[in-house]
Structures are given as structure tokens and as C-alpha cells.
Amino acid sequence: MTQNAARETLRDDEREDDPDEGPPPDDRNEGPSDGDSSPRPRRARRLLKWSAAVLALLIIGAAGAGYLYYRQLNDNIKKDPLNLGDTKVAEPTPNAAGQTPLNILLIGSDARDTEENQQLGGARETFGSTPLADVQMLVHLSADRSNMSVISMPRDTLVEIPKCTDPDDGTVYPASYGRTMTNQSLGHGGPGCTVATWQELTGIHIDHFVMVDFAGVVSMADAVGGVPVCVDANIHSRDGQGHGSGLKLSKGTHPIKGEQALQWLRTRYGFEDGSDLARAEAQHMYMNSLVRELRANATLSSPNKLRRLAEKATEALTVDPGLDTVKKLYDLSSELRKVKPERITMTTMPNRYVGARVEPTEDAEKLFRLVRDDIALDGKDAKPAKAEEKVPSDPAADDAEIAVQVLNGTRTDTLQAASGRTGTVAGVLKEKGFTGTTADTTSALSEKRTVVRYPSADLEGDARRVARALGIPADSVKRSTEVSGVTLVVGADWREGTEYKVPEEDNTTPESAQALNGADDKACMHVNPDYTW
């Protein structure tokens, strides 16, 4: 694993901006003073500078099956463990058809560990230094394979990086003291620590990761062929101080590939207001266009192009053991290709300033919940028919014989646990005939929704009977190895009263996520007049 070459501690501000784009404006590196009443510059939603090529690999399609099965290509693929953290997130429950979602974390490494990466990435002083996960993007494929949701995280998001152990030399990286920029997670043992960081932040189970570097983007983008992009005026991304990616295009739509594609993905100076938010918009447009091209364009029907793409792709990737062969990658691409562009939604994690950095907002947690619950971000999910309640293999005992423990889970990020809830709810159950109920008055957990948990199949019937008696929906009855018997956790949705009311949840994608639909082929980047020619 090349990222183990150097493990020095990085300051928060190291390699924050693209070296070959020159220094950023002063207000990029300094938070406003306490007395500054001027509005903050809109914060960068830092996206995958080179993600489009990775996504392309995953959705190549059946036409290339013959060449993607070359046995020799397997040796090209670099492998790393999936998760280096101690905390595991449970896999999602299968739907009625037995299908489960797939979550793949795409990681763009800024490693400058080869001559080619150095030439493309610039910054000679960073050669061989610990790489950063400057791009982090979660691809969620729905359980029924009807839609795809993408969430990107700004690289300077402040998170708690968990304890990770390097799989190569056994180095233990303790959990970060306070919050640290998320891109530093890659230097804590490898991509498996970035996966662990995402899982702890979002509660989303991640099945796979795919990591690529600068050189991988250029070679793969070149092998795929041109991807059409649009600008509304002539653009040259370069100013008098040398800032800019060097991208030069005339007004209109142009197919770009190779290094020019990398320039497009990295351009900040020249698009819109020159912020990273504009760069993110351009990256989304490129990725959507790439998806459409791969589905409609016949360029990949050429055996030589397919072979070249396969070779370049496998040389560029580092993956987890679940994707460590060409066949596994091909099988994954076949699953992803089932989604039509109009059912692909790309978003950026909603965030707010913390000094010069950002942190997730309440809208971010809502976005994470939608993904956890496998709810399409485009709002086009068919309304599910009311599912019939599952009939347990072991029927419920008599109410008086069911032992129930009640815990208080009403604590939230902003509210203390509601006093007396376990005693009140336990009293309700006893009045209904569940005389074996006990209240844990010392618990102060945090559970957003009231849930009934049970440890084994022989107690499922009892758990469902308790839920019915209180009006708790069947999908809030969960099997869990964390409990020893039927356990009712009173959630933040039941902080008062004796009657449980099922909360109505807003399942619309937050506007702050800046959603972009994959079928939007009319998008055109606005060019800043200061960068036209």
C-alpha cells in the first residue's frame, strides 16, 4: 500500500487547496473575525476531482465482458481491507423480495508518489508525503436497483476519525482528539479508515470502496473517449498570478478526455464565482454526461478500446477484497447499469461553517437517513403497498408472561432525556396486561424513533405483540444481539404522553443538498467574464 511510505502528522491546513491552481484568495484560508459582519463566501462542496473516471468503470456495461474477464488483469488490481475501525454498522434489512442496497465509497487520493502523479498534481514539495482522501463520494444503489443516489462530502469537513490499525505494519492510530478534517482519514492506515469514518458519521453500512489517483483519472478518461461538456462563453482558466487549471475552451459544447477532462474536473477559477461550489457543479455535469455517454455511445464496442480501458482501469484502482477481481468489478458494473440516468441523483452533504472548515448540518443527517432507509433522493419511489405483518415462527406468549424491559432513548443532540418516561410507558404496558414489564430508570439513550428489539427468533412473536399493543409499527420491531430479551426503547418521538403516535416523516431531499438529476443534458457552465477570451 503506497500510502504507507510516510505517516507524518498533518496539520489541518496542509495541502488544503490545489497546488497547481496557485494560492486561494485570502478569505479561503481565514475564517471571518468575530466583528466581521460581511457574508461568508459560499463554501466549497469539494467533490471528486477525478471521480468521473471511477464511476465510469463501475457502469461500463455488458459490451466489454469478454475483455474484462482477462485473468491477467486481476494482478493489476491493488487491494486493501474494507474497514479498519472497531465499530461495525449492521447491514440493511432485505426488502420483501430479499434484495439489499449496495453502498460503495469512491475515494480520490491526492498521492504524488509517482512521476506521473507528480506531473499531474504539481506541488513538488509534497512528493511522497502521506496522501489525503481529498475526494469522498458515497454511491448508493437501491435494493430494487431502480435508482442511484450519490452523496459527496467536502474534504475539509470536521469529523471524529475513529481508532484505526494499519493492516501492513500494525501501527495503531488512536481516535482523533476532537474533530479533524475528513481527508486525513486516509493517512490513518489506508482507505479502510476512511470507510470507518464514514460509517461512524452516517450510520450507513458500506459494502465496498474504490480508490483512484490523478494518473488513473487521465488514463481511464482517455480510454473511455470524449465526454461532452458545455460553457456559455470562451474560457481560459488562468490569471496573471498563475491561478487556474489551464482549461481553455471556446463557447459551446465540446467532447473532452484525458488531461483536458482532469482540467475540467479541477477548474475553479473561471466558473461562476470562482468558488469550489462552482467546481462541484461542473463535476456533477461531467459525471452525468459521462453516464449518458456510456449508455448511448458505441465507442466501447471497439475491442481495442475495451482492452485499453480494462488495462488502465485495473492499474489505477485500489479496492477492498470484495472487488478484488475483474469478474467482481464487472458484476458490480452490471448491477449499476440497471439504473437509468433519470433515476440518478447527485448531491453534496449539506454543511455549515466552523471557522474556516465545515461540519454536517441537520439536513445532512436527514440525507443520511434517506440513504439508510433506501428512499430515492429523486422523490420518484412508488408508494409501497402496506406490507402484511410477518407471522413469527414462534407465536407470542400470553401478555402476562412476556418480560419487557423499557429503556429511555429520548435524549437528542439538543435535549436531555425526558424525565420519567420509562416508568410512564412501563405503567401503560402493565395496564394492558404485560405485568412482567420493568422500567430501567437509569438509562439515557439516544433513539430517534421508538423501537422494540428482540435477540432471537423465539422472542420475535413476543416483541411484535408488545408493538401491536402500543401502536408501534411493524417496521420498528428489530432483531438485535445487543439485547437479552424483549426491549422497548422509548425514542425521541415519544417524549410525552401515554399514547404513541407514529411520526410523519418528511422524505424529500433537502434543498441544501444541491441535487442534480442524471438526465439533465441542458446544463451549461457559466463563465466568469474575468476568465474569457
Report pLDDT digits (tens) over 479-497.
Answer: 888 899 999 999 999 999 9
Checking DSSP bridges between strand 451-454 and strand 477-479, what pairing results, if any?
parallel
- Could you tell me the three cell numbers for 285? 455535469
Q: What domain range includes position 163?
A: 7-31+41-378+515-531
Residues 332 and 452 in one domain: no
CA distances from 92 to 58, 267, 277 (A): 22, 38, 32
Residues 322 and 421 in one domain: no
User: What's the mean per-residue pLDDT of the chain?
Assistant: 81
| Cα gap 466→477, rounded to integer Å | 9
pLDDT of 384 higher than 90: no
385 lies in a domain? Answer: no
In this prediction, residues 401-410 reach a mean pLDDT of 97
pLDDT of 27 higher than 90: no
Residues 125 and 213 in one domain: yes
Q: What is the DSSP letter of 228?
A: E
3-class SS of residue 236: strand
383 lies in a domain? Answer: no
- Could you tell me the three cell numbers for 145? 436497483
| Cα gap 283→264, rounded to integer Å | 8
289 lies in a domain? Answer: yes
Residues 317 and 423 in one domain: no
Question: 45-49, 76-80, 475-479: lowest mean pLDDT where?
Answer: 45-49
Residue 211 in contact with residue 324, Cβ under 8 Å?
Answer: no
pLDDT for residue 202: 94
pLDDT for residue 230: 94
Long-range contacts: 438-443, Cβ < 8 Å, 24+?
438/403, 438/404, 438/405, 438/406, 439/406, 440/405, 440/406, 440/407, 440/408, 441/408, 443/407, 443/408, 443/409, 443/417
Full 3-state SS string of 331-347: HHHHHHCCCCHHHEEEE
- pLDDT, greater one: 41 or 514: 514
Residues 373 and 406 in one domain: no
In this prediction, residues 182-195 reach a mean pLDDT of 95
pLDDT for residue 385: 52
| Cα gap 278→270, rounded to integer Å | 9
3-class SS of residue 252: strand
Residues 406 and 525 in one domain: no
Residues 110 and 196 in one domain: yes
56 lies in a domain? Answer: yes
Q: What is the DSSP letter of 446?
A: B
Which band of pLDDT confidence, cut at 50, 70 and 90, is reported for residue 376?
A: very high
Q: Which residues contact 411 (CB under 8 A, 6 or more apart)?
A: 417, 444, 445, 446, 492
Residues 358 and 405 in one domain: no
Tens digits of residue pLDDT in 162-179:
999 999 999 999 999 889
In this prediction, residues 38-49 reach a mean pLDDT of 41
Residues 110 and 55 in one domain: yes
Residues 58 and 201 in one domain: yes
pLDDT of 120 higher than 80: no
Domain count, the chain: 2
Tens digits of residue pLDDT in 212-243:
876 666 666 676 677 899 999 999 999 888 88
pLDDT of 123 higher than 60: no
- Tell me which range, 27-36, 311-320, 377-386, is most confidently predicted by mean pLDDT: 311-320
CA distances from 529 to 281, 291, 523 (A): 18, 30, 19
In this prediction, residues 249-275 reach a mean pLDDT of 87
In this prediction, residues 392-408 reach a mean pLDDT of 93
| Cα gap 106→142, rounded to integer Å | 17
Residue 294: other Cβ atoms inside 10 A: 24
Vertex 189, ends 188 and 190: CA angle to 5°? 100
CATH number for position 131: 3.40.630.190
- pLDDT, greater one: 383 or 243: 243
Residues 251 and 296 in one domain: yes
pLDDT of 275 higher than 90: no
CATH number for position 417: 3.30.70.2390
pLDDT for residue 382: 76
pLDDT for residue 2: 41
pLDDT for residue 49: 39
505 lies in a domain? Answer: no
pLDDT of 14 higher than 70: no
Tens digits of residue pLDDT in 310-336:
777 788 889 999 999 888 988 888 898
Residues 134 and 247 in one domain: yes
